Amino acid sequence: ALLDLSGVHQVKGTWMGSATLPCTYTPSEGFTQETLSWSMERDYSTSTVFLRDDSGDHVLLSRFRDRVSVPKHSPGDASLLIENLEIPDSGHYTCQVIWRSKNNSLITKELTTIVKVVKVAVTKPVIRAGKLGLTVPAGARTSLTCVASGSPPISYRWFRSSPGRKAQLLSSQAELAWDSLRLSDAGMYYCEAENR
């Protein structure tokens, strides 16, 4: 099993989610990884998605730029992470590693994984209502967390509303936190959740 690539036959990913295509080997003394590439075959044409050689990492297909990566500091791990999956990302992906041995001969191994990107039923965010009327002592630490179900990615915003004034945006995170509550923090707060 010297310098054999191991992975899986098929990976299912969800649209807009991320997927890891495993491709690993046990580093072996006397062999150095010369190049590592990931190519993709779809509709009978093959193109290189990712290439790592002595000049660094290169993403060769522009539609994958900023969406694919391979672990940098774990020898033997050539797995490909694809983020923000799109439906056209479905296809056959081949991991190819070329090693150079001490006597300068080259060894090439390949491993192919089928990727299927599925669309889940797209749903609007639904916020689970929290307890109304929260009483907290002044000076205490507390936080409000907004939880919504629905299709990812979901973004959150917290507002404070005062009668007759424009609602004030307090946070663009799911959590709104106070280190030390003041009496002036009393009031009405609400959360907004949004997805595509």
CATH number for the domain spanning 136: value is 2.60.40.10
Query: How far, in Å, are 157, 158, 160, 162 from residue 189 at the CA level?
Result: 11, 7, 4, 9
Task: Evaluate whether 5 touches 25 at the Cβ level (below 8 Å).
Answer: yes
How many structural domains comprise the chain? 2
**C-alpha distance across the termini of the chain, in Å:** 46
pLDDT single digits (tens) 144-178: 999 898 887 899 999 999 888 889 999 999 999 99
Do 97 and 142 sit in the same domain of this protein? Answer: no
Residue 130: domain span: 126-195
Name the 3-class secondary structure at 87. Answer: helix
Q: Which of 118, 153, 177 is the last residue of a domain?
A: 118
**One domain for residues 169 and 187:** yes
Same domain, 45 and 106: yes
Residues 37 and 109 in one domain: yes
- Residue 52 near residue 70 (C-beta atoms within 8 A): yes
Q: Say whether pLDDT at 121 is over 80.
A: no
Task: Give the Cα separation of 194 and 98 in Å (integer).
Answer: 45
Q: What is the pLDDT of residues 75-106, one digit of tens each?
A: 899 999 999 999 999 999 999 999 999 999 99
- In this predicted model, which residue has the larger pLDDT, 195 or 133? 195
Report residue 62's pLDDT band, with 50, 70 and 90 as the boundaries.
very high
How many angstroms separate the CA atoms of 169 and 126, rounded? 20
* pLDDT at site 174: 92
Sign of the four-CA dihedral 69, 75, 79, 83: negative
Domain final position from 82, 97, 118: 118
pTM of the model: 0.62
Question: How many helices (H) and strands (E) in the chain?
Answer: 0, 18
